[in-house]
Amino acid sequence: MSHPLLRLPHVAPYTCRSCLLRRSQASRRRIATPPPWAKQQHTPKAALPTSPARTRFAPSPTGYLHLGSLRTALFNYLLAKRTGGQFLLRIEDTDQKRTVPDAEERLFRDLRWAGLQWDEGPEVGGPYGPYKQSQRSALYREHAQRLLDTGDAYRCFCSTDRLNQLAEHRHKLGVATDYDRTCAGIDKGESDDRAARGEAHTVRLKVPDVYPAYHDLIYGPFKPLKRRSHLTESSFEDPILLKSDGLPTYHLANVVDDHLMQITHVIRGSEWMPSTPKHIALYSAFGWTPPHFAHVGLLVDEQGNKLSKRNFDTDIAAFQEMDIFPETLTNFAALLGWSHSEKSDVLDLRRLVDTFSLKFTKGNTTVTFGKLHFLQRKHAALRAVAGGDPLQHIVRAVSALLTAPDTPYPDWQTLLPTSRDSNSDPDAYITSIVRADAENYTNANEFVYRNSFLFTALRNPASVTDAPDVPARVKSLADVGESEWDKERLMAKVHEVIDARAEGRKGAKDVYQYLRRAVTGKEDGMRIYDVLVLLGRDECLRRLGVEV
């Protein structure tokens, strides 16, 4: 295990985080312009449903879980749990060519790491399975046939070459490159016969002249769109439902699955808003009641670009490698496009469930990472108070760095105050340090660097001071015995030194600055009385130049 940052303790630590902080400058969010299709008038905030909500997260295993998809899963999870409902996981794996071999396994692991355990889905089961689209093909063909029988869909026998030529022709004319319904007029008997003979075809939805209206929980009433037409070129937004290989497109599969799985609410990214009228038309063609839709804005960088791997929309494993706690990441993700009325932004998953509402912001949300590290420090402090395994996770991470073969602190255990039974154990010593400075913990690398004076002996500390009497005066800390070496007595002794100098506030500053420099070799850091207690009497006096 290699830790290059530890080999260079005097250079700026953890440059990855520093880069993030330079980009953020502050923990702020900027809301971008709402999508052009969204109504701009005030929309009343939607109330929570009065009955249990059934929500779902339906990722495709063509990649790993990233920040944007985690946020989508989280919002659906919170709504289900807030209302006493169920959160479903469904795998949309019909695009076999782009499937990443280990993406599904990683997805399960990352969701569970974040605490988002699904109530129904793969590895769990449920009454509406299977929960993988590749295992539901017969259902989609059956429902496509229902639409063919009612005339709400038709078979399209056009070749790929013909469709490409049509699209190119229409593009040159400057009109929409939708389909021209060449195959919509084929007699049903002829269509059935050609399909029975194995002629390649797709199945298209025959969209209505005017889409049915629907109400978005964030943007309010969605104005129906008229079917596009031109004087010389007809244009029809007839989406493909079944591909020529018999597999469904997203449009058909998600509508059929959401209905059969009794999904009541769908929270998804605003990039799906233009497709939602088609989905509403599909529900109408089947005679089904659609679920409630809430479209949340996209996550963008400070230039307004959609997050990508180049600008920190990395998969969840990257946050895990940064030692970000799961409660930190879910807290951070929840605040991206959602608001609450709590006094503090520091909310663990249980608190998020208790406070969740449908108070989403319109438009896109700019992601900056200063907030992430602020929340990490706050949750570290909570772990220190709570104790148990969450605290021990931090202790183990710090211990792993200190005991690595290439650690720059090979003799750190010689600093253990062995005269104190409670601190003689290495893990107990690390635990004491973490408890004292947890409010500044972001990850083990930075924590060890920040507190390196607790892991290495300082025999020639930086003890320069403009007050020449201070070094001699602070040596009186030797009057405090081993059994009395605690915060209260040390504080009283330091105050004696300050009062003896009779220089008021400046005198106190001189004493504290010298103490910190002499004992830690740093200008700032952990509270000085915590440092004195952690290092113990003998080590502190040695650093102050007192023979022990």
Rounded to the nearest angstrom, the gap between the alpha carbon of residue 266 and the centroid of all alpha carbons in its chain is 19
Determine contact, residues 147/138, Cβ cutoff 8 Å.
no
Label each residue of 16-28 as H, E or C. Answer: HHHHHHHHHCCCC
User: b or e along 489-527 (b: 16 or more beta carbons within 10 Å of the residue's beta carbon)?
Assistant: ebeebbeebbeebeeeeebbebbebbbbbbbbbbeebbe
Angle between helices 426-437 and 370-386 (to 10 degrees): 130
Instruction: State the Cα–Cα distance between residues 275 and 288, nearest whole angstrom.
Output: 17
CA-closest candidate to residue 371, choices 329, 309, 340: 329
Beta strands in 79-157 (DSSP E): 86-89, 153-156
Helix (H) or strand (E) holding 541: helix 528-543
**Residue 458: how many CB atoms within 10 A of its CB?**
19
Instruction: State the Cα–Cα distance between residues 78 and 87, nearest whole angstrom.
Output: 9
CA-closest candidate to residue 121, choices 155, 150, 80, 159: 80
CA-closest candidate to residue 397, choices 437, 446, 356, 455: 446
Cis peptide bond N-terminal to 130, omega within 30: yes
Instruction: State the Cα–Cα distance between residues 34 and 103, nearest whole angstrom.
Output: 32
**Residue 410: how many CB atoms within 10 A of its CB?**
14
Please give the structure tokens belonging to residue 116. 């988002």
User: b or e along 95-110 (b: 16 or more beta carbons within 10 Å of the residue's beta carbon)?
Assistant: eeeebeeebbebbbeb
Task: Give the ranges where 335-469 is alpha helix by DSSP (H).
Answer: 349-355, 370-386, 388-402, 426-437, 444-450
- The helix/strand/coil state of 286 is helix
Residue with structure tokens 């029809």? Answer: 236
Instruction: State the Cα–Cα distance between residues 221 and 244, nearest whole angstrom.
Output: 36
Catalytic positions, written as ranges: 309
Helix (H) or strand (E) holding 292: strand 292-296
